[in-house]
Amino acid sequence: MGVLPLKSGSYNAEQGRGGMPMDDILQVNERLRGLIWGAPMLILLLGTGLYFTAVTGVFQVRYCALWLRKTLFSCFTGAARRTSGGVSPFAAMCTALAATVGTGNIAGVATAIATGGPGAVFWMWLMAIVGAASAFVESTLAQIWKVRGKEGEFRGGPAYYIEKALGKRWLGILFAVLLILCFAFGFNGLQAFNATSALEYYIPDYATNGTAIACGIVLAVMTAFVIFGGAKRISVITSIIVPIMAIGYIAIAVWTTLSNITELPGVFAMVFASAFDVQAIFGGFAGSVVMLGIKRGLYSNEAGMGSAPNAAATASVSHPCKQGLVQSLSVYIDTLLICTCSAMMVLVFYVQDPQAASALNGMPLVQMAVNNSVGEFGIHFITFAIFAFAFSSLIGNYFYAENNLRFIKGDSKALLFVFRVVCLCVVFYGAVNSFDLAWNLADIFMGFMALVNLIALLFLGKWALAALDDYTRQRKEGIDPVFVADRIPGMPKTECWHVSEVHDYGKPPVKEYLDDALDPEYVGLN
């Protein structure tokens, strides 16, 4: 997720590119954003994650071995089964990562460290572990109440389980509208601007000499190629882009860290000393090391906010919990891996040259940190990473928006075409203009979106827990878990997950399980 614009020397929060001061509307908007994303919202997000962590017996730790041995490995090898029209669990995870892994993973982490201190990294790590529980619940619910589109593809997400499980279509529509405004029109403009801004190192006057316009056209054309191909093309492209950019970024971070391995004791000492510094924690708590770390973790992986379930619902799996586990793993990849990579590069710089590091913030801090370790090549690589992260976010954000537009208006091809054109215009406009008001509004929309989703999770979480019990029981019995919704007493009606559909998920042991464990006539399923 990219909630942090990369502000260059020619642009700041108080002035647009044209030099005009902010108006009163923007100032009110910023105060409202601060109110919505204050301590109450963060406590609600954190509390929800802690609640699901407790009631699941800290499953996100207990199941780590399974994630790596079964879930993630099967995603890469193609062992994970898919139905007609569906996408693989790995592709669904990559679509979610495409949206969550953005420029905020680079600049946002550096800003948290520069503002709150190195201890923010520790609290960021903690939030990844806690947030994995929320990610599991919302993605499992998305799988349970997913639907099939006209072309056989799966769709789902918070809007769908709010309508079908809570029986509140109006609330589902509200969520969908908020998500569209947030991701398609807000964050996509921001990501386009961040991608263009990365050129400032090479072209200081990029904003006025036509470079921004050219970059906007290129981004719009590249985005059009992907989004006009539909959900399958989006999943294919993200399955390629996300691993490449993540591996490349991790590789340079590992190189930076290993080449300065003697500095690691000092790095970790600095992190833990800052994390548990009483004065730093309670001295202005809203801006403390704890709050900044929590914010960075939540903003980065979006666990509990209701975005990733839109991608999770598209996967073809034999049990909802399988995709819930995959999406939980994506939280770890996003925060524990990619954000930690940014943190390590910055913290090594802090240890080696604290004076220079303290004078920088955001993207310049990351650039100089990499330059300090690997030379000018690092700056070139970071520039490429910014562009790649921003482009993948454009794709992932659009996918979320389209999924929710279909929820509101169905499969109208004319409406979908117009919507895609409008989204491309937003990408182009974002590349050539800094539109603070739109981005701040997007933050507000996401706050309300998260609030709606969290309320739904607290009401519906019991069904995800019931699915987890079913999944765990079958694994203990040595069975490849297969979900049949009708076997869960009292579960609201689902479109999928009935006996007649389970055969789509492949060969035995699925068939053996149905033969041995289910009597359709006895339980009244067929």
Classify each residue of 223-235 as buried b or exposed e, where b means 16 or more C-beta atoms within 10 Å of its C-beta: beebbeeebeebb
DSSP state of 58: S
Total number of domains in the chain: 1
Rounded to whole angstroms, the Cα distance separating 332 from 198 reads: 27
Residue 318 lies in a domain: yes
Closest by CA position to 249, among listed 110, 388, 145, 356 = 388
Domain assignment of residue 165, yes or no: yes
Is 419 within a domain?
Answer: yes
List all residues 6 or more positions away from 47 whose beta carbon is below 8 Å from its beta carbon: none
Boundaries of domain holding 51: 24-55+88-456
How far does Cα 123 stand from its chain's mean position?
18
Locate tokens 């389980």: which residue?
161
Nearest to 310 by CA among 242, 395, 246: 395
For the chain, how big is the Rg over CA atoms in Å?
A: 23
What's the whole-model pTM score? 0.78
Which of the 8 DSSP states describes residue 481?
A: -
Domain presence at residue 489: no
pLDDT in tens, the chain (526 residues): 544 444 443 334 344 444 445 566 667 767 777 777 777 777 888 889 899 999 988 887 777 766 666 555 554 444 444 444 455 555 555 555 555 555 566 666 777 777 777 777 888 888 888 888 998 999 999 999 998 877 777 888 999 999 999 999 999 999 999 999 888 888 888 788 877 877 777 777 776 777 788 888 888 888 888 887 765 666 666 666 666 776 777 777 777 777 777 777 878 887 887 777 655 555 444 445 666 667 666 666 677 788 888 888 888 888 899 888 888 887 887 777 777 777 888 888 888 787 877 777 666 777 777 777 777 777 787 777 777 777 878 888 888 888 899 899 877 788 888 989 998 888 888 888 766 666 677 778 888 888 999 999 999 999 999 999 999 898 888 888 889 888 889 999 998 888 766 554 444 334 433 443 443 333 333 3
CA distances from 63 to 154, 322, 326, 332 (A): 26, 11, 11, 13
Q: Which residue from 333, 261, 308, 329 is spatially nearest to 457, judged by alpha carbons? A: 308
* 65 is a domain residue: no
Structure token pair of residue 191: 């990501």
User: Residue 431's domain is classified under what CATH number?
Assistant: 1.20.1740
Within a domain: residue 83?
Answer: no
* DSSP result, 169-224: HHHHHHHHHHHIIIIIIIIHHHHHHHHHHGGGGT-TTTTTSSHHHHHHHHHHHHHH
Flag whether 333 is in a domain: yes
Dihedral sign of CA atoms 152, 156, 161, 162 in order: negative
Is 447 part of any domain?
yes
* Cα(462)–Cα(430) distance, integer angstroms: 41
